[in-house]
Structures are given as structure tokens and as C-alpha cells.
Amino acid sequence: MADLPPPTLRLHIDKDALAHNWRALDRLSGTARAGAAVKADCYGLGVDTCLPVLRDAGCRDFFVAHWSEVPAVLGRVPAEQISVLHGVGCAAEAEYARATGVRPVIDSVRQAQIWTESGAGPCHLMVDTGINRLGISPGEASAPAIQALSVEVLMSHLACADEDSDKNPAQLGAFREVMNKVAHRETSLANSAGVALGSEFSFDLTRPGLALYGGVPRPELAEIIQQVAYPQTRIIQTRQISAGESVGYNATFTATSQMRIGVVSLGYADGILRSWGGAHFEGDGKRLPILGKVSMDMIVLDLTDASDIGEEDWVSLPYHLPDAAQQTSLSQYELLTVLGRRFG
């Protein structure tokens, strides 16, 4: 079979920035060590690319959500360093955990029973202290199935760490109460935003995700976290349009004078959603405004003031996550995880 030609869109990952972000979060964690949420293919940026960087920077605790995510991680770090946040919902998942040595995060009394009936072994335990997602309730901590577990890390998850909310100290207090009811080796509460709340939230292990990949969930991190992801695309066609001609679906943009425009090879199928309308790309030091609606595979740019930019040239979409979130009204999490698989 013939070799594929080079792609017309690419996602540059700044590996140095990624390593910097983990080390910064590890330092901010104080006496605790920082882990890494690598679920959802490292928040859309690629396990193949990102996990070795995090590992080599010093990370030793990796969290995924689904069991299907384990194989991509398992070949790169020891099994005991991998945790599956959704736990063991059936016997097959428990058997896979025992066969691989990957740690399940037990999320309910029922999961505790499934884990014990499978032969048990080391696990983690999630306690719901107020977000009302996965996790045992504090009142279930004394259940025989929970007490029978060999808990390595007792953990909970903050609901409002990105805000100055009364829920943060409330969850902290509830977590401290449960710590006295379940035997465990270590404790973990803080996510990326939680790391910035202060040392009392750090315990033994923090679990950053978003901030590793360039997200800034709290202002305290704004001068610390570096951008990691840089979407880039190639111009595949240029053309001239005259006053009165429109661009794109539904003719939402109409030229008022003669313009030079360019078509780039990405769109909402690649995660650049229509909410990017009105934003701009950059090339050769110039702003290149988006014209009209974003299409599935194409975006049209104004090249009128960029005469040096032509077909086959590369341009970039500014993707500093806090700014992009303000521009698009998407969350920083969404901006990362919607990026598509066609990036080379």
C-alpha cells in the first residue's frame, strides 16, 4: 500500500510545558505527591505522547476512567501505578483487575462485594462527600463489605474547587470524618483546582488533570501553568471574492469590498466547533479572522492583510485554554477533549 501523504492538520504538543506543569503541581502539592489523570486519552492530547512525558517527569500515579483505557497505559507504567476510577461493576471487570494488577477504585458497597467475591486484593476507595456522583456515602463506611477491603488510597472528589465555595471546607471536613472510619494507607482529595486551595487539601496524593494539559481552573495557577496544545492547519486554497459575495453556509458573512480569503483543512469534526465563529487564526505574525460559519472539515479565513500567506502554508488557532473558553463559551475541559482524531 502506498504511503499516506503528510496531514493537513496537526496538533503540536509542547512536551516541555507538560513536564513543567506536572512538576509545578507536584511542588504545589507540598508534602503530597502529584499523580496524573490520564483518562480520555490524556484529555484528548494522546496517551502515546503525554504519558511518557509525565512518567519521566516523576509521576507514579495514573488515573483512567474506563477499563478499556488500561491497555494503552499498562504498557508504559507498572500495573500497580494505574487506577480505574469507575471501579468494578461486574465480575469480568474484577477478574481483569486481578489478572493485570491494576487497582480498582471501589465506588459502592455492591462493588466492594464484587471485589471481595472475586478474591479481593489491594484497591482504592472513593467516598462521596458532596458531589453526588460515584462513591460510597459516609454512612456506608462501616458496612462489613467496606470494612473488609484492603484500601490503599482513600479518596474523595471536590465539587467546587474552582470556586471560593463553602462546599470546599464542608467536603474537607466530611472527608476527615470518614478517614477515621476506614482503614487505609494514604488519602487523596484534591484535583487540579484543589491543589491551589492550599496544603490542607493535599493529604498524601493529589490528582491533577486539566492543569497538566494547560488548563487554568483557578487564578492562583494563571502564572504557573503553561500552554501545552497548539492546533495547526494548512491552507488548502486561496481565492478572491468581491463586494456582495458571501462565505459559507447560510451566507452569514458578506464581503463589503474585494477580499482575499483562504480555506483551512479543519472544522467541527476536529473539535473546532461553530462557537469559534468570530475568532481568528494566526500566521506570519498576523491575525486571520474566521469568516462565516465553521464547516465540518473547513474554515474560511480573511487573508486580505496577509499577502505572504498562501496555499500549503501553516496557520495556528490560538488555544490558550482560559482565553479560548471565554471566546467560545466552552469549558476548558471540553476544549481539550473534543479535539478530533484527524490531527497528525
Domain boundaries, the chain: 14-219, 229-318
In the residue annotation, 39 being an active-site residue is answered as yes
pLDDT of residue 1: 87
Catalytic residue among 39, 43, 213, 319: 39
Q: How distant, in Å, are the alpha carbons of 12, 36, 78, 88, 93 from that of 120? A: 43, 25, 19, 11, 12
SS3 101: coil
CATH no. for 14-219: 3.20.20.10
| Residues 176 and 192: beta-carbon distance below 8 Å | no
229-318: what CATH class? mainly beta
CA distance 186 to 151: 8
DSSP annotation of 94 reads H
In the residue annotation, 167 being an active-site residue is answered as no
Please list the ranges in the chain whose pLDDT falls under 50. none
Nearest-CA neighbor of 87 among 110, 104, 63, 66? 104
- The pTM of this model reads 0.96
Q: Where are the alpha helices (DSSP H) in the chain?
A: 15-28, 39-43, 47-57, 70-74, 91-100, 109-117, 144-147, 167-179, 192-195, 321-328, 332-337
Catalytic residue among 181, 230, 249, 333: 249
